[in-house]
Amino acid sequence: MRLGASLALAWRSIRGHKLRSTLTTLGIVIGIAAVIAFVTLGASLQAGVIGDISPDDQRNSYGWASDPDTEGGPLAGAQPVFSEDDLETLSDDEDIDAAYGYMPISTQALVYEDELSPQSDALVAAGPTYIRDDTLEEGRQFEQGEREAVVNPAVAGQFEEDLETGDELTVALQGGEQTSVTVVGITETSEGLSPFEGFEPSPRVYVPTDPYYTEDAAGELPGGEAGGDGDAGGGEGTEGDEATDENAGANGSEDDQAMADARFLAIVVEAESADEEAIDRAQESATTYLESEDSDAGELLDDDLEVTLQTSTELLQQLEDVLGLLQNFIVGIAALSLLVGSIGIANIMLVSVTERTREIGIMKAVGAQNREILGLFLAEAVILGVVGAIIGTILGLAAGYLGVWYIDLPLVYPYEYVALAIVVGVLVGILSGLYPAWRAARTDPIDALRYE
């Protein structure tokens, strides 16, 4: 019997029992669909996250000091130990292009045109290069020492009238103090600009560490008086208030002291290039200095605190590892479903052999060979497996597309898994149909013709 004839007979048998054939392949459909859907979501999420790392960000190392046994992502257990002097020393290092502090500042509300919007942790103090040009929808980066800010669309669009560059925004800090900022830029998206912020969209106002964090830190420190009222603190707001040089000198001294006392929760160290060796040199130089007695951070580090410096790619590797574990978990569950599906095919094929015993006897009586009977039933099992794999693949791709569309991620189809699904379907069909087909082929024609 030719292969085409065997496939035609097998297909006719499957079509003759549509409901039974459908239920038989259900386990394979579910297993393969689950694998394809989850792998599509994982590949799309990975592409979306890694795609957010711009070439400029690839040379950045994000650092914090915490207990080395602390579990969690960036800033987990972080303590504010990095001083402005530490950052200036690191910036002068030949292996480091720039270094600046990072500090989230607690807020109560944002006020624009007498409209108040409650917001906590909306203020992020950092260096100007934290706002990369390719992340800006309009405007420019803020400048260090200026009362300027860059906001994201979540902040710009939360008032009745949208914020635009050049507008004044008032920020109410925890404790009741208020400070004002001039919006000079708006980012393209509301997602976090670094692993410190996570990747969830959230309202954020980015300001320079000088003066916003140094003044805020001075207000919180014992005896500090420079913080709080940003309008009175300096910069653009001191117009006409030149009472005495003595007072100005005193304010300058307080500002300098505040700058020296301010400790940052985290730092960003920029290597000279995105080259791996350059990044390693920058991380090694920064770690060596920060953990030495020459640094202010070194004085606060002890056995319970250790400096960690990692790039975005290294930090995202942890996310990829978690995704890998979840993917393996889903594949394990899907493997159980495939096992159930293969048992279902074997069971149905055994039933089919029993039902068609007399037919097998007639075929052998007219000259059919054992290998032809074997091929006929094996073809039927393989067709069930392949059909289940194809339907499962289509459903998995559709579920993956809907999931990616709902989460708003770039769609990435894992085509290698599509080919793997077809191979799995064929293997499941062969393995599950092998014994029933062998049993059919070994049927004695005389006994088969007597079978009722």
Instruction: Give the tens place of pLDDT for each residue, 217-264.
Output: 555 444 444 444 444 333 343 343 444 444 445 555 555 665 667 788
Residue ending a domain, among 304, 326, 361, is: 304
Looking at the predicted structure, is the pLDDT value of residue 44 above 80? yes
Residue 249 lies inside a defined structural domain of this protein: no
User: Does residue 169 sit in the same domain as residue 25?
Assistant: no
Mean of pLDDT values over 296-325: 80
Residue ending a domain, among 304, 338, 363, is: 304
User: Does residue 197 sit in the same domain as residue 338?
Assistant: no
Instruction: Give residue 388's domain range.
Output: 3-51+317-450
User: Does residue 21 sit in the same domain as residue 43?
Assistant: yes
Are 222 and 134 within 8 A, CB to CB? Answer: no
Mean of pLDDT values over 261-268: 86
User: Does residue 296 sit in the same domain as residue 327?
Assistant: no
User: Does residue 283 sit in the same domain as residue 432?
Assistant: no
User: Does residue 293 sit in the same domain as residue 149?
Assistant: yes
What's residue 51's pLDDT? Answer: 66
Residue 32 lies inside a defined structural domain of this protein: yes
Looking at the predicted structure, is the pLDDT value of residue 150 above 90? yes
Residue 204 lies inside a defined structural domain of this protein: yes
User: Does residue 43 sit in the same domain as residue 126?
Assistant: no
Mean of pLDDT values over 151-169: 91
User: Does residue 300 sit in the same domain as residue 323?
Assistant: no
User: Does residue 46 sit in the same domain as residue 109?
Assistant: no
| Per-residue pLDDT tens over the stretch 333-356 | 777 777 777 788 788 878 877 777
Looking at the predicted structure, is the pLDDT value of residue 184 above 90? yes
- Helices 312-355 and 357-365 meet at what angle, rounded to 10? 70
User: Does residue 170 sit in the same domain as residue 192?
Assistant: yes
What's residue 224's pLDDT? Answer: 42
Residue 30 lies inside a defined structural domain of this protein: yes
Residue 299 lies inside a defined structural domain of this protein: yes
User: Does residue 340 sit in the same domain as residue 382?
Assistant: yes
Q: Higher confidence at residue 294 or residue 16?
A: 294
Confidence of residue 185 (pLDDT cuts 50, 70, 90): very high
| Per-residue pLDDT tens over the stretch 60-84 | 899 999 888 887 777 888 888 898 8
Residue ending a domain, among 250, 281, 304, is: 304
Prediction pTM value: 0.63
What's residue 244's pLDDT? Answer: 41
The token pair at 402 is: 């809907």
Residue 329 lies inside a defined structural domain of this protein: yes
Looking at the predicted structure, is the pLDDT value of residue 186 above 90? yes
User: Does residue 293 sit in the same domain as residue 372?
Assistant: no
Counting the structural domains of the chain, the total is 2
